[in-house]
C-alpha cells in the first residue's frame, strides 16, 4: 500500500483566487445585512406589528441558515483544492 503525498500548498494564483472568493463572500454578507436593515426599516413604517414580526422571524431564520451553511462551504472549497493538488503535480513514482 503506497502512501499518498501530503497536500501541497496552493500556488500564488490559487491562493489569490481563494482569498478573492473569501473576500467576495464577506462583502456579500455585509451588503446583505445592510440591505436587510434598510428593508426592515422601510417595512417597519408600513406593516402591522404581526406582519413585521413574521418578516423579522423569517429574515433571522434565513440568516442563521446561511451561517449554518458557511462552514460546509469552507470544507467543500478545501476538499476541492486538495483533490486538485495531486492532479496538478502529475503522476509520481514508477
Domains of the chain, by residue range, sit at 51-79
Sole residue written with cell 492532479: 87
Distance of CA 89 to the CA centre of its chain: 27
pLDDT tens readout for residues 61-93? 887 887 777 777 777 777 777 777 665 555 554
pLDDT tens readout for residues 24-42? 888 888 888 888 888 888 8
Q: What is the pTM of this model?
A: 0.47
In degrees and rounded to multiples of 5, residue 47 shows phi and psi of -95, 155
Give CA–CA dist 61/54, Å, rounded. Answer: 11
Amino acid at each position: 500500500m503506497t502512501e499518498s503525498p501530503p497536500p501541497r500548498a496552493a500556488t500564488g494564483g490559487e491562493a489569490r483566487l481563494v482569498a478573492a472568493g473569501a473576500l467576495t463572500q464577506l462583502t456579500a454578507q455585509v451588503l446583505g445585512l445592510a440591505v436587510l436593515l434598510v428593508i426592515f426599516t422601510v417595512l417597519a413604517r408600513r406593516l402591522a406589528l404581526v406582519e413585521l414580526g413574521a418578516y423579522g422571524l423569517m429574515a433571522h431564520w434565513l440568516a442563521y441558515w446561511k451561517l449554518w451553511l458557511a462552514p460546509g462551504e469552507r470544507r467543500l472549497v478545501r476538499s476541492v483544492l486538495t483533490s486538485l493538488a495531486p492532479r496538478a503535480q502529475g503522476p509520481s513514482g514508477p
